[in-house]
Amino acid sequence: MFVAATIALLITMALTLWRALVGPTQFDRLLAVNSFGTKTVLLIAVYGFLTGRPDFLDIALVYALINFLGTIAVLKFFEQDDLGSGQYQEDDY
Amino acid sequence: MEATVANVLLTFLAVTAVGIIMLRDLLAAVILLGAYSLIAAGAFVVMDAVDVAFTEAAVGSGISTILFLGALSFTRHDQKPRPNHSWMALFLAVAAGGLLIYGTLDMPYYGSATSAAQTNPGLAVRFLEESGSEVGPPNIVTSVLASYRGYDTLGETMVVFAAGIAVLSILGLKRRRPGENAPLDAPGDKTTTLVVNSSADDGSIASPNEMKRYPRQRHRVLQVVTKLVIPFVLMFGLYVQFHGDYGPGGGFQAGVIFASGFILYGLIFGLQKTRAIMPPSALRILMCLGLLLYCGTGLLTMVLGGNLLDYNVLAHDALHGQHWGIFTVELGVGITVTGVMISLFYNFASKRSL
């Protein structure tokens, strides 16, 4: 059961990785990498159960908590070209 | 099955690395580096290096992307096209790479029975069998990292500290800082100036509360979710810090996760507000405090008659001493890493907003 889940996850990872590599736009890549992150969370969690060592779940938790940080940073970079600005400044430049 | 998963992940890693090299667009390369880090963490998990995977997860999931983006905002987004290819450079790169690959031929294969770790298992067996009675923590990685080779980890903490100092000295202190209690019309302090202007336009005097509110509320979902998530991120950072004796984790990972909470706040609410919560002067104190805590523990053990970072002398019982020593040292690492990471974010993100 876990084996099937692992294989399925690896296949979806390959698909999203392909999208991230070929693009064509930055948003494709970003979305692909973001969903690749979700797949990694799932893979680490499933792998923990596959090998009977749920210690790994902590790592999956890290990704679940802060994986979107990079995505937000890239999106903010697209929007404002500056990571530190407050939202209230955005129309004032 | 495990070998298959490892092989697939390593293949992904190689494909992504080649893809990153081929890309001319640096922003796309940064995005792909995020994927690279994710795959690397997965591969580390599969190879049973759970603590390493934890570090990769904590650093790679946010901080490294953000630092790359910060660096990109100082420069151009495209790699500069080279008009002519230098054959000498190609030759040197191929020669150096070839030498490195030749060097790896001497290394044992993954899981090889003839590797040095297998043929001379003294140290590994000692760690596995005796660390429980000598040092204590169930997580042997923590025992090795904080106690057996605590001196090494002290060096690593110093490297992190030195990196923070270096970035501060290059990016942070170059421009004249307005300071934490800068006058309202300080040059470069754009937000305050803008708020004052807008309040002067409509003729009313903005109350301090109104000045703190943002006139145009966009990204409301992100703001609400951020406020919901940050307590959990900080809580998880503390869990990783103090649970490192029992499971994967420790000071380095905890510091990065803790800093990620602040960085998330900074991304959504702006540097100005984050600096109000965590002023850079406090960060500089934190950076030094953690390292001093580590060094102080080492000095204390020497004063009490042991070797540097020999925690046995810290308490009446050797195991208690080890426990206290590891606790303090990991706390020091966590504090320094938190300070340095937030400080790095401040310096890289403050292109225009200071």
Instruction: Determine the distance in angstroms separating the CA of B273 from the nearest CA of chain A, rounded to an integer.
Output: 8
What is d(CA B229, CA B263) in angstroms, rounded to the nearest whole number?
12
CA-based diameter of chain B, in Å? 82
Encoded tokens for B182: 């800068």
Average the pLDDT over B236-263 and give the result.
89
What pLDDT digit, counting tens, does each position of B153-200 carry? 999 999 999 999 998 888 876 554 454 444 343 344 444 434 444 433
3-state secondary structure of B86: coil
Alpha helices in A51-83 (DSSP H): 57-66, 68-80
Q: Where are the domains of chain B?
A: 1-81, 140-354
B19-44 burial code (b ≥16 CB/10 A, e <16): bbeebeebbbbbbbbbbbbbbbbbbb
Nearest to B330 by CA among B78, B150, B72: B150
What pLDDT digit, counting tens, does each position of B217-228 carry? 567 888 888 899
What pLDDT digit, counting tens, does each position of B17-63 carry? 999 988 888 888 888 988 899 899 889 888 888 888 888 888 887 78
pLDDT at B89 over 90: no
Count of Cβ atoms closer than 10 Å to residue A44 Cβ = 28
**A17–B50 CB contact, under 8 Å:** no
CA B154 to chain centre: 16
Encoded tokens for B314: 């810290």
Average the pLDDT over B254-267 and give the result.
91
> Quick check: B55 and B252 in contact, CB under 8 A?
yes
Dihedral, CA of residue B271, residue B161, residue B255 and residue B224, to nearest 10: 0
Instruction: Determine the distance in angstroms separating the CA of B194 from the nearest CA of chain A, rounded to an integer.
Output: 8
What pLDDT digit, counting tens, does each position of A18-68 carry? 999 987 888 899 999 989 988 988 988 888 888 887 777 887 888 888 888
Those residues whose C-beta lies under 8 Å from the C-beta of residue B232, and which sit 6 or more positions away, are: A65
Interface confidence, given as ipTM, is 0.87
Domains of chain A: 2-84 (1.10.287)
Encoded tokens for B108: 């044992």
* Cβ within 8 Å of A, B 270-329: 270-273
Size of interface A-B (CB pairs under 8 A): 201
Instruction: Determine the distance in angstroms separating the CA of A88 from the nearest CA of chain B, rounded to an integer.
Output: 5
pLDDT of res. B101: 92
pLDDT of res. A14: 93
Fold of B1-81: Four Helix Bundle (Hemerythrin (Met), subunit A) (1.20.120)
3-state secondary structure of B200: helix
**B42–A40 CB contact, under 8 Å:** yes
* Cβ within 8 Å of A, B 47-76: 50, 53-54, 57-58, 61-63, 65-66, 69-70, 72-73
Q: Does A55 touch chain B (CB under 8 A)?
A: yes
